[in-house]
Chain A
Amino acid sequence: AQKITQTQPGMFVQEKEAVTLDCTYDTSDPSYGLFWYKQPSSGEMIFLIYQGSYDQQNATEGRYSLNFQKARKSANLVISASQLGDSAMYFCAMRGTYGGATNKLIFGTGTLLAVQP
């Protein structure tokens, strides 16, 4: 069975500092994809970044980077130079190889990030 674990229910970070949100996963699929989504108070889920299990380099998207450690089964999100607008709930998610059309995206429990001025 596939599982995503986010052990930090909530975090504070000072504006302009970097912050790491933890995510570990469990899967037996040989190929899989890892995602991070942001959910501001408005409710909409916003896609941030994707990492494939066979990607040689860690994914980066602007101020977001994914610290992918395959052997440890971790996919931590790093946000550099935090901004007040980064305050939101962040979800880690995974999709495995098998299932074709029924291949589901499973989510962790989320981390609530509060950026302090």
Chain B
Amino acid sequence: DVKVTQSSRYLVKRTGEKVFLECVQDMDHENMFWYRQDPGLGLRLIYFSYDVKMKEKGDIPEGYSVSREKKERFSLILESASTNQTSMYLCASSPSRTGKTNEKLFFGSGTQLSVL
């Protein structure tokens, strides 16, 4: 089975801290994604990557950056955490670079981040 692992299930940080959210997939998938989930807003795409060292902005990239140095690992970075970044963060991966319409995403269990 495909496994997408997020390093922390719950995380509490202080305003202004630099925060790293780590995600690892074990199925050699080309694409990796970071979503943010908020009540009433659903899932919104922050950043995604379709290759090592490649990244693309999603719909809400402001205040975030990403790193993909190895194929299996995709990190989300909050340079200076703010209270409005308190949210559930979901990492996902998908197999191919072609982006077929029927290609589903495989998700991790999420990281609930609280910024105080």
Chain A, interface size: which category?
A: 20 to 34
CB atoms of B99 and A102 under 8 A apart: yes
How distant is the Cα of A93 from the Cα of B99 in the complex, in angstroms?
15
CB atoms of A96 and B90 under 8 A apart: no
The answer to the question of A31 belonging to the interface, with a C-beta cut-off of 8 Å to chain B, is yes
CB atoms of A101 and B102 under 8 A apart: no
Q: Which stretch from A11-19, A45-53, A68-76 is at the chain B interface?
A: A45-53
CB atoms of A97 and B58 under 8 A apart: no
CB atoms of B90 and A45 under 8 A apart: yes
How distant is the Cα of A101 from the Cα of B94 in the complex, in angstroms?
10
Beyond the given A6-B42, A110-B42, could you list 18 further A-B residue pairs with CB under 8 A, ordered by the A residue number?
A: A33-B101, A33-B103, A43-B109, A44-B107, A44-B108, A44-B110, A45-B92, A47-B104, A50-B102, A52-B102, A95-B101, A95-B103, A96-B101, A101-B99, A103-B99, A104-B58, A108-B42, A109-B42
B residues near A, CB below 8 A? 9, 30-31, 33, 35, 40-45, 48, 50-51, 56, 58, 88, 90, 92, 97-110, 112
A residues near B, CB below 8 A? 4, 6, 9, 31-33, 35, 37, 42-45, 47, 50, 52-53, 91, 93, 95-97, 99-110
* 18 A-B residue pairings within 8 Å (CB atoms): A33-B102, A33-B103, A42-B109, A43-B88, A44-B108, A44-B110, A47-B105, A53-B101, A95-B101, A96-B101, A100-B98, A100-B99, A101-B51, A103-B100, A104-B58, A105-B33, A107-B43, A109-B40
